[in-house]
Amino acid sequence: MSEKIIEIRQLNKKFVSEKGEVAALTDVSLEIEKKDIYGIIGLSGAGKSTLVRCMNLLERPSSGEVIVNGKSLTELSDRQLRTERRKIGMIFQHFNLLMQRSVVDNVAFPLEISGHRKKDARKKALEYLEAVGLTEKANAYPAQLSGGQKQRVAIARVLASKPEILLCDEATSALDPQTTKSILSLLKEINEKYGITIVVITHEMSVIQEICDHVAVLEHGKLVESGTTEQLFRSPKTAEARRLVFSGSEHILEMTSERVVRISFHGGSAYEPTLGNIVLETKTPVNILYANTQTVNGEAEGEMLIQLPADNDKADRIVEYFREKGLDPEEVKEYAESAGNTDDN
């Protein structure tokens, strides 16, 4: 049975501005299991960063409960909270390195603060630099490093504190795609090697699909959908999830047929000539409105929007064929509406 390490219960966070009270989070509840890589995604202003900062009480919630390792953080004294925070590491978009200290001294810094002798702290720091593949840069300074190298130093510094949880707040947003991929690969290695639970805050669906086991979707401070990453990609239930997953939603606006189905495929089915077979069998063409294939946790995942023929008998036959092939056909008349309502984002 999986063990929960983070529980968020009916969390609310309000900020007071000149224009009045603003609700950043509204009644958010979620659970994160130990050793999981959990993604939290949403567009700008969705409340992602506020939520992750509430997980270690850098932001104190207006109401609700944050439970970490079975302890309610909101009920702890300041001293007890400081102790619990040592188990929660955090990395940010802009690295937050000490520019006047060398790479090895940056990594050793939290060890020195916790009471390690300088010599021992540097020795441990070198071990963690090796873990992130940056031993050769030990004596360099942050100004001499690339963005990806700086983030690796930040990760090594967090590892030096031996956290049980690692919070990543848009940690790859400032990096190019290739560097982002390498950092995500490193985070996955860390998760597997050290058993650290990782929470990833991002607005990029490509980050979620690369490493996350589970995902929560936020919209305007509310949790609108959650589940496994595979579930989200195969069958997003809400309009916001569809906007994020279905990045080609502008094609929806070109639909003219009354019958359109979305099919999802994964594993071997992604490589079968399903559409070719059904066209040959029914002697009826279909129109591909949208198609996308991606890799999620090493498995091929994809989806298509298919405009069916006007003949309902043939359309029904095609839908049944898709069902027999395990492609989960879904009528998507509501997609046109959800794709068009994007002005508030």
Residue 310's H or E segment, with its range, is: none
| Overall average pLDDT of the 228-244 stretch | 85
Angstrom distance (rounded) from CA 266 to CA 276: 17
**Using one digit for the tens of pLDDT, what is the confidence trace for 182-211?**
999 999 999 999 999 999 999 988 899 889
Per-residue pLDDT tens digits for 110-169: 899 888 899 999 999 999 999 999 999 999 999 999 999 999 999 999 999 899 999 999
> 261: which residues sit within 8 A by CB, 6+ positions away?
305, 306, 308, 319, 322, 329, 330, 331, 332
CB 282 within 8 A of CB 318: yes
Higher pLDDT, 164 or 330: 164
pTM of the model as a whole = 0.73
Q: Measure the CA–CA gap between 299 and 302, rounded to whole angstroms.
A: 10
Residue 253 pLDDT = 40
Q: What is the pLDDT of residues 92-126, one digit of tens each?
A: 888 889 999 999 999 999 899 888 899 999 999 99
